[in-house]
Structure 1
Amino acid sequence: MARILVAEDDPSVRAFVVSALTMKGHEVVAEEDGGLAAETVDSEEGRFDLLLSDIKMPIMDGIGLALHVAAKYPDIIIVLMTGFADQRERAHGLEALIYDVITKPFTLADLIAKVDDALAGKPVEVVSLGRQAQLQ
């Protein structure tokens, strides 16, 4: 299974995500903000398969974290999470760096399917400016 870094400031969402991914057999490291997650990925020298990060967080948000991780560890797959439409729009333009954005609230099945797809490298269809674009 995969080694996954989770960055989520909401304790209940973080616990749900960690529990779901652990039950699926993944090794999960969780941090409560992007700054701590950046320190963790650096101290682990990028030894993660996937970063699953909330976009809106204190200290360093998920966009900043994604940029940090993608620049230093391009092999880490990045999936962002958000419950805010304006935050999803902030991820627009990062298609080359992130695999996808999962919208909160999501179900256990939604989360597992998105993580499984990302780890399998399946392309994702993203609606961008009214057109369909595929990410690899």
Structure 2
Amino acid sequence: MPKILIADDEDSMRQLVARAIAMDGHETVTAQDGAEALEILTREDGAFDLLLTDIQMPVMDGIALALSAARDFPDLTILLMTGFADQRERASNLNALVHDVVTKPFSVADIRTAVADALAAKKR
């Protein structure tokens, strides 16, 4: 069962994504910002199949989190989420580190598909 770390500062979005992903049998762990997510990754020694993070968050944003996670856990697949075009543009420089950027708002089916695609790419 894949283990997925979800980082988003919006409680309702974190819960929605966690429930949607759990529908496919994935184990989920949530964090309310990038700093908490990095703390969890470090404590768990990177034992996640996927990091799914919002880009715009307080304390540590998703791009800083992605850079740190990719440096410390190079086998970790990273998927970003954003509702802002300028944030999506910032993420375009991370193509070598990030599997994809999911645009908000998205449907439950959209996020489940994005996660399935990211996990399938990891297996290749």
Match in the other structure for 1:16: 16
C-alpha displacement of 1:111: 0.4
Shift of 1:58: 0.2
Consecutive unaligned residues of structure 1, counting only runs of 5 or more, are 123-135
Report what 1:56 is aligned to. 56
Q: Highest relative contact order (Cα 8 Å, sep 6+), 1 or 2?
A: 2
Deviations 1:38-97 (Å, cap 9, x if unpaired)? 000000000000000000000000000000100010111000000000000110110000
Give the match for residue 5 of structure 1. 5
- Tell me the CA shift for residue 109 of structure 1: 0.7
Give the structure-2-normalised TM-score: 0.96
Task: Determine the structure 2 residue equivalent to 1:87.
Answer: 87
Provide the residue aligned with 2:117 in structure 1.
117
How big is the shift at 1:22?
1.2
Structure 2 gaps of 5+ residues are: none
CA distance in 2, matches of 1:111, 1:50: 13
Distance 1:24 1:120 in 2: 13
RMSD over aligned Cα atoms: 1.1
SS across alignment from 2:81: strand
Percent identical pairs in the alignment equals 56
Moved over 4 A (4+): none
State TM-score, norm by structure 1: 0.88
The structure that has the greater radius of gyration is 1
1:51 counterpart SS class:
strand
Aligned pair 1:78/2:75, yes or no? no
Aligned residue-pair number: 123
